[in-house]
């Protein structure tokens, strides 16, 4: 039971069950936020009941996460653990009658439940790693932003200070206009009145677009690279469970790993259907599948592969493949299969040999 709960509550898990748990938690948080907002405006017994149920749900979820945590103290002190604790605290407040219908206190529950939504997103840990990896570029962009901000504020003070002393009379006052303009927010509460001031504002807007585009490009590139590295490490750990790749040299294995994708299937899921076009080859790294063709069913467990015959013979699938245990598969698309077959003929020979052996054993 503890292992099952650990798999379901793991924030980085990709299984369907874990995904359903995260979705259910997110929906509960949204419902709780809506109910707490309504209760904070007017006394509503139905809304308060929903708030109580959501609060108790998060309290139970927090207790379950503490129970399955390896190092409970370390987990409870982690940022993720503290956010889950904050989401569970409203239950204690309600049970202690510290919040009543129609009070603003219930409205404060929106804050921890809004934070709960952020930690339900898998890959949250990528953010600090991306910032750390791209810190040099981010510092450069930050310095450029600060320089533009103070230059614009100084020029605006010189050009508009005499005309609008309340808004541009000092450089600190002009910084508000420079910040709003550089970020292209444009509140319109402070507007240059002179022609040079308006030209400065137009140039600052264009500079703001450039700086923000540069920042977005750095972060997007950093996230893409970090996701690629994380997925590579994950697939590398899984591919070691497939005997077919044991004797493959490291350089060729790196090439293969970069082309594989991870896919999970729950119990009873149909992985492949008879008669469909061959679109991929599959490697079983956890769980078990059953081949249901014209003959007796055959089960394939960890370390085996399937789907290669249709690719080799370029014909439709001849059997259904059903997950008889929750399984994790590595998927090699057809285009990547043919490319690897051309670049690594020894691997293709091993696949063909295993396929013939398997067909002969069935006969």
Per residue of the chain (363 residues), give pLDDT as tens.
Answer: 777 788 788 777 767 778 888 889 989 999 988 888 876 555 567 777 888 889 899 999 999 988 888 788 888 888 888 889 999 888 887 776 654 544 556 777 888 888 888 888 766 778 888 999 999 999 999 999 999 999 999 999 999 999 999 999 999 999 999 999 999 888 888 999 999 999 999 999 999 999 999 999 999 999 888 888 888 888 888 887 888 887 778 888 888 888 899 888 888 889 999 999 889 999 999 889 999 887 788 898 888 889 888 888 888 988 899 999 888 899 999 998 888 888 888 888 888 887 777 766 654
Looking at the structure, tell me whether residues 353 and 262 fall in a common domain: yes
Looking at the structure, tell me whether residues 322 and 355 fall in a common domain: yes
Looking at the structure, tell me whether residues 53 and 148 fall in a common domain: no
For residue 130, tell me if it sits in a domain. no
Please say which residue of 223, 257, 281 terminates a domain.
Answer: 223
Total domains in the fold of the chain: 3
For residue 129, tell me if it sits in a domain. no
For residue 156, tell me if it sits in a domain. yes
b or e along 62-81 (b: 16 or more beta carbons within 10 Å of the residue's beta carbon)? beebbebbeeeeebbeeeeb
Looking at the structure, tell me whether residues 214 and 273 fall in a common domain: no
pLDDT attached to residue 48: 79
Please say which residue of 69, 88, 122 terminates a domain.
Answer: 122
Looking at the structure, tell me whether residues 118 and 144 fall in a common domain: no
| Parent domain of 181 | 135-223
Please say which residue of 173, 190, 223 terminates a domain.
Answer: 223
pLDDT attached to residue 177: 94
For residue 238, tell me if it sits in a domain. no
Which CATH number covers residue 255?
2.60.120.10
For residue 230, tell me if it sits in a domain. no
User: What predicted TM-score, i.e. pTM, was given to this entire model?
Assistant: 0.69
pLDDT attached to residue 11: 75
Which CATH number covers residue 203?
1.10.287.70
Q: Facing residues of 286 across strands?
A: 328
Looking at the structure, tell me whether residues 6 and 118 fall in a common domain: yes
Looking at the structure, tell me whether residues 260 and 352 fall in a common domain: yes
Give the tokens for residue 151: 């230059």
Looking at the structure, tell me whether residues 276 and 354 fall in a common domain: yes
Looking at the structure, tell me whether residues 16 and 91 fall in a common domain: yes
What is the distance between the alpha carbons of residues 341 and 332, in angstroms, rounded to a whole number?
12
For residue 237, tell me if it sits in a domain. no
Looking at the structure, tell me whether residues 7 and 118 fall in a common domain: yes
For residue 150, tell me if it sits in a domain. yes
Looking at the structure, tell me whether residues 108 and 9 fall in a common domain: yes
Looking at the structure, tell me whether residues 250 and 350 fall in a common domain: yes
For residue 24, tell me if it sits in a domain. yes
């Amino acid at each position: 039971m503890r292992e099952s709960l650990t798999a379901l509550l793991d924030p980085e898990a990709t299984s369907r069950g874990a995904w359903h748990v995260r979705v259910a938690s997110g929906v509960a948080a949204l419902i709780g936020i809506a109910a707490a907002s309504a209760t904070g405006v007017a006394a509503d017994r139905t809304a308060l009941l929903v708030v109580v149920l959501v609060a108790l749900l998060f309290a139970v979820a927090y207790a379950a996460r503490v129970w399955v945590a390896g190092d409970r103290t370390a987990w409870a002190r982690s940022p993720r653990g503290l956010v889950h604790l904050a989401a569970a605290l409203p239950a204690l407040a309600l049970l202690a009658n510290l919040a009543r219908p129609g009070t603003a206190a219930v409205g404060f529950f929106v804050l921890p439940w809004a934070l709960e939504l952020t930690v339900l997103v898998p890959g949250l840990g990528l953010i600090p790693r991306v910032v750390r990896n791209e810190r040099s570029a981010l510092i450069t962009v930050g310095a450029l932003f600060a320089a533009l901000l103070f230059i614009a504020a100084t020029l605006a003070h010189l050009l508009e200070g005499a005309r609008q002393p309340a808004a541009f009379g000092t450089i600190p006052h002009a910084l508000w206009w420079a910040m709003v303009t550089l970020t292209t927010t444009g509140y319109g509460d402070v507007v240059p009145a002179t022609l040079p001031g308006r030209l400065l504002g137009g140039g600052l807007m264009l500079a703001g677009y450039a700086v923000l585009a540069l920042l977005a490009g750095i972060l997007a590139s950093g996230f893409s690279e970090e996701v690629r590295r994380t997925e590579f490490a994950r697939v590398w750990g899984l591919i070691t469970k497939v005997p077919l790749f044991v004797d493959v040299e490291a350089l060729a294995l790196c090439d293969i790993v970069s082309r594989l994708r991870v896919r999970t299937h729950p119990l009873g899921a149909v992985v492949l259907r008879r008669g469909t076009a061959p679109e991929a080859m599959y490697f079983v790294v956890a769980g078990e599948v059953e081949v249901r063709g014209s003959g007796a069913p055959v089960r394939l467990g960890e370390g085996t592969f399937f789907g290669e015959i249709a690719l080799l013979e370029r014909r439709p699938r001849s059997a259904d493949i059903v997950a008889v245990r929750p399984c994790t598969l590595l998927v090699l698309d057809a285009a990547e299969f043919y490319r690897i077959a051309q670049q690594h003929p020894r691997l293709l020979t091993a696949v063909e040999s295993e396929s013939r052996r398997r067909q002969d054993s069935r006969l």
